[in-house]
Amino acid sequence: MRLYWRVLVINGAVLTAATLALVVAPVSVSRHPVVSEAAVLGFGLFLMVVTNALLLRSSLAPLDRVVREMASVDPQRPGRRLKPPDSGPGRDLVLGFNAMVDRLEEERSMSNAKQLAAQEAERHRIARELHDDIGQQLTVVLLGLKQAEQRAPAELADELAALRESTRDGLDDVRRVARQLRPGVLDDLGLASALASLTHDFAEHSSASVRRVVAPGLPPLSSDTELVVYRVAQEALTNAARHAGASAVELSLTKVGDRVVLEVADDGRGFDVRRDGAGLRGMRERARLAAGDLTVTSSPVGTTVRLEVPA
């Protein structure tokens, strides 16, 4: 029954009962009511209000519950749905609300997927330009310097050697940035090698020691899923280096049943996992794209990021 009719019926029933009681009961109200009459009237009114309140409460309580639960639906942790009451006006409200959340989540996950795909394509393009254009030009400069060094007078040798060194450093930087933007080794040599080069880079640029464990015989992953695993590992390692103050980090890739599990654990200072930043949100969104589960656990003795994806 629609809420409007339900409230109308309840109020109508209470008023009818009150009217009947007035008609049947041996009471009368004088032109100038005396105290005893006012007391009877007051009592009747009280009864009416209480009955009305009790009846309306059972009808409206589900609405309050739904409104409370609506406020707790968190777009960062999708998949949560309200349980519809078996009947009553709350049921339609819950079903309608759940359908709306379905649509919003679908729309959100589609636009996230599009955004991440666009981001990857853009990174790919920049990495290629860095590697192919700037990298090639620096290589040409490097070769030219080498030849010039051979023919130049002796007093220029040191200067040219120093120039060649900084050009080589620049070239290394360009290659490193290109590799971070788009791990070419992921496409060429697969996830295990890409993670190896990631931990290698990490060890070079961080004071923490890093241990890498890749279980043998992992089931193959699609290239999209491999990219998700790689990006989550990259962000988790970056966080460990940037925020954790850790002395040791361990990255492991194992399997549980037919699922592949990535774990990045540090022994750093930990943080409150309810306070997400863009990095953690990005990890969650990527995990969702790969139909995986991401859990972050943290305590004052360390943080573990765990990603489980279907093979």
Does 267 sit near ligand ADP (CB under 6 A)?
no
The Cα–Cα gap between 296 and 272 comes to 10
The Cα–Cα gap between 269 and 302 comes to 6
Does 266 sit near ligand ADP (CB under 6 A)?
yes
Q: Note the residue count of the chain.
A: 311
Minimum distance of Mg ion from residue 236's CB (angstroms): 8
Q: Which is nearer to Mg ion, 245 or 279 (by Cβ)?
A: 279
Minimum distance of Mg ion from residue 285's CB (angstroms): 14
The three-class DSSP label of residue 28 is coil
Q: Specify the stretch interacting with ligand ADP by CB under 6 A; choose among 71-79, 89-97, 185-193, 239-247.
A: 239-247
Which one of residues 268, 286, 289, 309 is an interface residue with ligand ADP (CB under 6 A)?
A: 268
Neighbours of 67 (CB within 10 A): 12
Q: Specify the stretch interacting with Mg ion by CB under 5 A; choose among 29-37, 72-80, 234-242, 303-311.
A: 234-242
Q: Which is nearer to ligand ADP, 108 or 243 (by Cβ)?
A: 243
Minimum distance of ligand ADP from residue 78's CB (angstroms): 18
Tokens representing 159 are 């200067």
Phi-psi region of 186 (alpha: psi -120 to 50; beta: other; left: phi over 0): alpha
Listed residue (242, 192, 189) closest to 212, CA to CA: 192
Does 234 sit near Mg ion (CB under 5 A)?
no
Which one of residues 66, 84, 303, 309 is an interface residue with ligand ADP (CB under 6 A)?
A: 303
Does 244 sit near ligand ADP (CB under 6 A)?
yes
Which one of residues 82, 130, 261, 280 is an interface residue with ligand ADP (CB under 6 A)?
A: 280
Q: How far is CA 60 from CA 57, 66, 92, 100, in A?
A: 5, 10, 13, 21
Nearest residue (beta carbon) to Mg ion: 279
231 close to 215: Cβ distance less than 8 angstroms: no
The Cα–Cα gap between 132 and 302 comes to 40
Q: Specify the stretch interacting with ligand ADP by CB under 6 A; choose among 10-18, 136-144, 212-220, 265-273.
A: 265-273
Does 271 sit near ligand ADP (CB under 6 A)?
yes
Residue 199: contacted member of Mg ion, ligand ADP, none (CB under 5 to 8 Å, by partner type): none
Residue with tokens 């394509």: 121
Phi-psi region of 2 (alpha: psi -120 to 50; beta: other; left: phi over 0): beta
Helices 154-181 and 89-128: crossing angle, nearest 10°? 160
Listed residue (125, 124, 72, 126) closest to 97, CA to CA: 72
Give residues 269-288 in contact with Mg ion (rule: CB under 5 A).
Answer: 279
For residues 15 to 54, the per-residue mask of contacts with Mg ion, x marking binding by CB under 5 A and - elsewhere, is ----------------------------------------
The three-class DSSP label of residue 265 is strand
Contacts with Mg ion, residue ranges (CB under 5 A): 239, 279
Contacts with ligand ADP, residue ranges (CB under 6 A): 239-240, 242-244, 266, 268-271, 276-280, 303
